[in-house]
Amino acid sequence: MAYPSHLSAGEIEEFGREMDAIRNEVMDSRGEKDRQYILTLIRWQRSMALAGRISMMLSLLLSPWSELPWAGWPAFLVLLLGGAALLGISKIIENMEIGHNVMHAQWDWMRDPNIQSNTWEWDNVFPSDQWKHSHNVIHHTWTNVLGKDPDVGYGVMRVTGLQKWHPQFLLNPVINFVLMLLFQWGVALHDLELDKVSKGERSIESIRPMLRRVGWKVVRQLRKDYLLWPAFAAAIAFPVAMLLELNAAPIALAASLTVVAGNLVANGIRNIWSNMIIFCGHFPTGVHHFTPEEVEGETRAQWYLRQLLGSANIEGGKIFHILSGNLSHQIEHHLFPDVPSNRYPEMSQRVKAVAHRFGLPYNTGSFTRQFGTTTLNIWRYSLPGGTAGH
């Protein structure tokens, strides 16, 4: 591997041994405190989801068309949007700090049949089995290697000068905005490599089983959020409206539409936040990219080094780290993907100290800095030119 040039082969191997030592020490110390962390978080997440849905359903009682004396737009919107926000936050936690990390096998050591990487299905349109292959196997093995890691620009954007410019990259800012709003859908389609199908590099037959699997998951998600929960809201609203001597049919219809709108907002919140956090860990200024030639014959120590150079952290408090799925510690996650995420904060101090001792960069900064430079890079690389370095 060509970078960094100031380290000898022996020093790189020593760096790798120190990373192994940090990982092994933490893995050996897993115990009851870690177990209680994930179990408590799951309880909180599910309670928040339930509270959000109840709030959205109750909002109808305060809507102007309920004809009740205490009804009005302010109270209705507070309950509806508040419930949607609460549900959105619960979806963020389920996807990022729970689902993503459970599927990395971070909690398999507990032997809890309800929290196992091979059985967890997350609240997302991307089937977990396909995600584990594209993310755990491909992305984490080939992090930031051009032509090997499909997450470099997700096949639709230019995010490094190593990528050859094409006119389609003028749409970088537009694609980034759309992907932010529809992130779960973009990730699900991304794994199908439809760009290769369009170029004739991959047949439609080869992805048909994956398409069926994605279709199954899409139907399941749409049915849950936009059919079953709205139907449940209508079923609750109808008898309540009759009890209050209101026009029951319109109230039931309004209840179902209210829940549909709330679920749309909640999914949008999750999509936008997930996109921002993940992009801040991969595309801000200072993140390195590599060519296949540079990683040929790579040792484990060199793999560790590439993970350090190809990732970025975001500074923040405990709640922020939980809401980010601890991907605010993207460096530690790429170095130790199967270590429980709640241990990343303590590991980050040790990794940073080792990096500095070896004269290596440790890319960390505020959310404003990381998101700002990520956005600027996406805009900059939409144009021809740009550095061909790392």
- Identify which of 92, 45, 193, 44 has the alpha carbon closest to the alpha carbon of residue 133: 193
Q: Is the pLDDT of residue 2 over 60?
A: no
- pLDDT above 90 covers what percent of the chain? 77
Arithmetic mean of pLDDT, 251-277: 93
pLDDT band of 205, cuts 50, 70, 90: confident
pLDDT of 289 reads: 95
pLDDT band of 68, cuts 50, 70, 90: low
Which has more pLDDT, 198 or 341?
A: 341
Residue 90, token pair as written in the block: 């619960």
pLDDT of 229 reads: 95
pLDDT of 303 reads: 97
Arithmetic mean of pLDDT, 53-73: 75
pLDDT of 268 reads: 97
Amino acid at 321: H
Q: Is the pLDDT of residue 199 over 80?
A: no
Which has more pLDDT, 304 or 58?
A: 304
Amino acid at 18: E
pLDDT of 227 reads: 96
Length of the chain (residues): 390
Q: Is the pLDDT of residue 127 over 80?
A: yes
pLDDT of 1 reads: 53
Q: Dump pLDDT digits (tens) for 136-152.
A: 999 999 999 999 999 99
Contact criterion met (CB below 8 Å) for 344 and 332: yes
| Rounded Cα gap, residues 216 and 212, in angstroms | 6
pLDDT of 65 reads: 62
pLDDT band of 67, cuts 50, 70, 90: low
pLDDT of 70 reads: 63
- Identify which of 35, 136, 122 has the alpha carbon closest to the alpha carbon of residue 338: 136
pLDDT of 71 reads: 67
Arithmetic mean of pLDDT, 361-389: 91
Alpha carbon 136 to its chain's center: 13
Q: Is the pLDDT of residue 34 over 90?
A: yes
Instruction: Tell me phi and psi for residue 122, to 5 degrees.
Output: -90, 170
Arithmetic mean of pLDDT, 23-32: 98
| Rounded Cα gap, residues 86 and 59, in angstroms | 14
pLDDT of 115 reads: 97
pLDDT band of 191, cuts 50, 70, 90: confident
User: Around Cβ 195, how many Cβ atoms within 10 Å?
Assistant: 13
pLDDT of 264 reads: 96
pLDDT of 190 reads: 81
What's the mean pLDDT when you consider all of the chain? 92
pLDDT of 69 reads: 64
Alpha-carbon separation of residue 68 from 63, 216, 249 (angstroms): 8, 42, 16
Arithmetic mean of pLDDT, 221-245: 90
pLDDT of 376 reads: 96
Residue 305, token pair as written in the block: 């080094």
- Identify which of 31, 70, 114, 21 has the alpha carbon closest to the alpha carbon of residue 335: 21
pLDDT of 3 reads: 65
Residue 241, token pair as written in the block: 């409206």
| Rounded Cα gap, residues 258 and 80, in angstroms | 8
pLDDT band of 389, cuts 50, 70, 90: very low
Angle of the 183-190 helix axis to the 172-181 helix axis, nearest 10: 110
Arithmetic mean of pLDDT, 22-34: 98
pLDDT of 288 reads: 95
Q: Is the pLDDT of residue 337 over 80?
A: yes
Q: Is the pLDDT of residue 242 over 80?
A: yes
3-state secondary structure the chain: CCCCCCCCHHHHHHHHHHHHHHHHHHHHCCCHHHHHHHHHHHHHHHHHHHHHHHHHHHHHHHCHHHCCCCCCHHHHHHHHHHHHHHHHHHHHHHHHHHHHHHCCCCCHHHCCCCCCCCCCCCCCCCCHHHHHHHHHHHHHHCCCECCCCCCCHHHCCCCCCCCCCCHHHHHHHHHHHHHHHCHHHHHHHHCCCHHHHHCCCCCHHHHHHHHHHHHHHHHHHHHHHHHHHHHHHHHHHHHHHHHCCCCHHHHHHHHHHHHHHHHHHHHHHHHHHHHHHHHHHHCCCCCCCECHHHHCCCCHHHHHHHHHHCCCEECCCHHHHHHCCCHHHHHHHHHCCCCCHHHHHHHHHHHHHHHHHCCCCCCEECHHHHHHHHHHHHHHCCCCCCCCCC
Arithmetic mean of pLDDT, 2-25: 91
| Rounded Cα gap, residues 261 and 88, in angstroms | 12
Whether omega for the bond prior to residue 4 falls within 30 degrees of 0, making it cis, is yes
| Rounded Cα gap, residues 22 and 339, in angstroms | 11
First vs last Cα of the chain: how many Å apart? 13
| Rounded Cα gap, residues 258 and 174, in angstroms | 30
Q: Is the pLDDT of residue 226 over 60?
A: yes
pLDDT band of 241, cuts 50, 70, 90: confident
pLDDT of 252 reads: 86
